[in-house]
């Protein structure tokens, strides 16, 4: 099956919260590119490349990266996914989100041409549903508690509290949310690298009384000694995210037991192939893993649901429902129900493009 066209177009989705803030910045839109591959058999496969400056690619850099990769995809056998990956890696180091868009579109194209769900190309599914964790963006403790309560009323039971490195304020955030959502809810925090190791230890040990399940990337991505110190000094599972940006980095984190867990993301790892490899490394090293936020369109989350369905070690809620707080999604077919996503069983990744009534470049209606 030969790929006869490679197209990409911008995808801009306005956020419900125009002041959505985490420790690395504030956003009012989620931006990326849809990758569309067509084959000589007439089948179409879709992938998504998300713009996230902290993963390497921006909305401005993605078109140039995708354009550069085009000759390595056009005219090639769609099933030769590893060979295409090798060509992309030789062509450009990094550019993981552009590579992820192409990798996912190839998998989707192959699955649709075979008439099977995508998870069948990843080893088949080991679960039918995935629990969804929702992110609570940085605001005052009272505002964050109110937002968590709204999500609880919608059926969510897992929450990630974004914090920004101020021990007193951050402990107050966790306290306010625990008091509002009750004892049955599961709480995690994500500092996005904003603590010093000593402040992280102080904060997490104080937060532990409010029962945290997990702490994500407390210190700088390249501070491995600091991260290890935090892991050894707190009673809560410590997870790497920004510091687990490549399969090689995950190998270092796992083989040295620098963390208890790793957040896997298709976008930062450059596609499904690398995410599978990273999961195997975690399994071998007895380090936990789950899928972190796949921010943006349902399309990008659909690929991640199939990955979560196929990975035996996913033992905690995954961040695959953030599309629920965005408008103008160009894809439809998955929805969170009672805090869970059902694994789609139709051909391919399980979402389809919808007719657009707005400008994809700006997201305006």
- Which residues are annotated as catalytic? 162, 265
Q: Judged by CB under 5 A, which stretch of 25-33, 87-95, 127-135, 233-241 contacts Mg ion?
A: 233-241
SS3 71: helix
What span, in angstroms and rounded, lies between the C-alpha atoms of 66 and 235? Answer: 43
Q: Judged by CB under 5 A, which stretch of 118-126, 224-232, 235-243, 345-353 contacts Mg ion?
A: 235-243
Complex with Mg ion: residue 190 or 249, whichever CB lies closer:
190
322 touches Mg ion (CB under 5 A)? no
Residue 143 CB partners (closer than 8 Å, separation 6+):
none
Residue 92 CB partners (closer than 8 Å, separation 6+):
65, 68, 69
CB of residue 170 vs Mg ion: minimum separation in angstroms?
Answer: 15
User: Please, which of residues 202-221 interact with Mg ion by CB under 5 A?
Assistant: 216
| Residue-wise DSSP of 296-315 | S-HHHHHHHHHHHHH-TTB-
What span, in angstroms and rounded, lies between the C-alpha atoms of 215 and 135? Answer: 13
Residue 117 CB partners (closer than 8 Å, separation 6+):
111, 125, 306, 343, 344, 345, 346, 347, 348, 350
User: Please, which of residues 177-196 interact with Mg ion by CB under 5 A?
Assistant: 190
Helix (H) or strand (E) run with residue 63 in it: helix 62-69
CB of residue 216 vs Mg ion: minimum separation in angstroms?
Answer: 5
CB of residue 180 vs Mg ion: minimum separation in angstroms?
Answer: 23
Closest of 316, 306, 290, 299 to residue 353, by C-alpha: 299
Length of the chain, please? Answer: 365
CB of residue 107 vs Mg ion: minimum separation in angstroms?
Answer: 24
Complex with Mg ion: residue 216 or 322, whichever CB lies closer:
216
CB of residue 293 vs Mg ion: minimum separation in angstroms?
Answer: 7
SS3 21: strand
Complex with Mg ion: residue 163 or 176, whichever CB lies closer:
163
What span, in angstroms and rounded, lies between the C-alpha atoms of 58 and 262? Answer: 24
DSSP state of 79: T
User: Please, which of residues 95-114 interact with Mg ion by CB under 5 A?
Assistant: none
Complex with Mg ion: residue 241 or 322, whichever CB lies closer:
241
What span, in angstroms and rounded, lies between the C-alpha atoms of 328 and 285? Answer: 41
Q: Which residue is nearest to Mg ion (CB)?
A: 241
CB of residue 98 vs Mg ion: minimum separation in angstroms?
Answer: 21
Complex with Mg ion: residue 108 or 190, whichever CB lies closer:
190
Complex with Mg ion: residue 177 or 214, whichever CB lies closer:
214
CB of residue 297 vs Mg ion: minimum separation in angstroms?
Answer: 19
DSSP state of 252: H
Using CB under 5 A as the binding criterion, the count of chain residues that bind Mg ion stands at: 3
Q: Which of left, alpha, beta for 162 (phi over 0: left; psi -120 to 50: alpha)?
A: beta
Find the binder of Mg ion among 241, 249, 319, 329 (CB under 5 A). 241
- Count CB-CB contacts under 10 A for residue 79: 15
Q: Judged by CB under 5 A, which stretch of 36-44, 236-244, 254-262, 347-355 contacts Mg ion?
A: 236-244
Complex with Mg ion: residue 52 or 147, whichever CB lies closer:
52
Task: Tell me which residues touch Mg ion (CB under 5 A).
Answer: 190, 216, 241
């Amino acid at each position: 099956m030969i790929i006869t066209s490679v197209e990409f177009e911008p995808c801009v989705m306005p956020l419900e919260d125009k002041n959505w803030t985490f420790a690395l910045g504030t956003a009012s839109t989620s931006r990326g590119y849809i990758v569309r591959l067509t084959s000589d058999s007439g089948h179409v496969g879709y992938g998504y490349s998300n713009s996230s400056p902290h993963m390497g690619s921006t909305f401005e850099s993605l078109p140039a990266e995708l354009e550069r990769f085009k000759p390595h995809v056009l005219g090639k056998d769609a099933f030769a996914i590893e060979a295409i990956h090798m060509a992309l890696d030789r062509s450009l180091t990094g550019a993981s989100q552009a590579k992820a868009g192409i990798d996912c579109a190839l998998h989707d194209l192959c699955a649709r041409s075979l008439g099977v769900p995508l998870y069948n190309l990843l080893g088949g599914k080991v679960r039918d549903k995935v629990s969804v964790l929702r992110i609570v963006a940085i605001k005052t403790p009272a505002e964050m508690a109110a937002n968590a309560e709204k999500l609880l009323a919608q059926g969510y039971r897992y929450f990630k509290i974004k914090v920004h490195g101020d021990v007193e304020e951050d402990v107050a955030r966790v306290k306010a949310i625990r008091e509002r959502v009750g004892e049955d809810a599961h709480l995690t925090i994500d500092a996005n690298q904003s603590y010093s190791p000593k402040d992280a230890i102080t904060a997490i040990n104080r937060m532990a009384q409010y029962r945290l399940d997990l702490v994500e990337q407390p210190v700088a991505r390249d501070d491995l000694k600091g991260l290890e110190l935090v892991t050894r000094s707190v009673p809560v599972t410590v997870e790497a995210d920004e510091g687990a940006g490549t399969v090689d980095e995950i190998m270092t984190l796992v083989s040295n037991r620098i963390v208890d867990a790793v957040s896997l993301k298709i976008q930062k790892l450059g596609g499904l192939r690398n995410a599978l490899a990273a999961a195997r490394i975690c399994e071998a090293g007895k380090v936990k893993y789950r899928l972190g936020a796949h921010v943006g369109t349902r399309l990008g989350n659909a690929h991640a649901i199939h990955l979560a369905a196929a990975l035996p070690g996913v033992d905690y809620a995954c961040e695959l429902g953030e599309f629920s707080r965005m408008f103008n999604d160009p894809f439809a077919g998955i929805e969170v129900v009672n805090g869970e996503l059902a694994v789609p069983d139709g051909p391919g990744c399980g979402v389809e493009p919808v007719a657009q009534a707005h400008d994809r470049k700006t997201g305006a209606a």
